[in-house]
Amino acid sequence: MHIQIKQFNWGEGNYMIIIAQGILNVRSLEQILIKVAAASLARAHCKVLIDFVNASCTIVPTQIDRLFSRRWPGLYPSPSKIALVSPSDDNHHASVSDVSTCLGKHGLRVAVFRDSKAAVDWLADLV
């Protein structure tokens, strides 16, 4: 998986944009979550948009559960908000939705969207 990350401050907020392309597996999710955790520790209340529009998700929820149990017991919940933008087709959207649900179960404030505008509005507390 190819991952591009941009961090910036805008107004009073701290933001991170992650563009992920390729196969989203548990290893690539772990890399992304390490970056999000670092941003959350360095910048209070970081708002994160992760774009999976050009990604194919191959993760099953039990893999995420195992990742959290061995890698981050007690690290989360984080005050950060994470918006996941999924591919538009129903199968990939359903897979990213499963990832979102599982991450939420582990204490992350996360939501999944089909378009970037809705994700940005949610991050900015406009909805």
> What pLDDT score was predicted for residue 114?
93
Q: Give the alpha-carbon dihedral of 45, 46, 52, 55, to 10 degrees.
A: -110
> What pLDDT score was predicted for residue 111?
95
> What pLDDT score was predicted for residue 78?
63
| Domain count along the chain | 1
> What pLDDT score was predicted for residue 71?
65
DSSP secondary structure code for residue 123 in this structure? H
- In terms of DSSP H, where are the helices of the chain? 26-42, 61-71, 90-105, 116-123
Phi and psi based region of residue 69 (left: phi greater than 0; alpha: psi -120 to 50; beta: remaining): alpha
Enclosing domain of residue 14:
2-123
- CATH code for the domain in which residue 58 is found: 3.30.750.24
Of the two residues 113 and 30, the one the predictor is more confident about is: 113
Whole-prediction pTM: 0.86
Q: pLDDT digits over 17-37, tens only?
A: 999 999 999 899 888 888 887
Q: Is the pLDDT of residue 124 over 90?
A: no
Pick the closest to residue 47 from 117, 119, 114 (CA basis): 119
Q: pLDDT digits over 53-104, tens only?
A: 999 988 888 888 888 777 655 555 466 789 999 988 888 889 899 889 888 8
> What pLDDT score was predicted for residue 107?
80
Give CA–CA dist 127/119, Å, rounded: 10
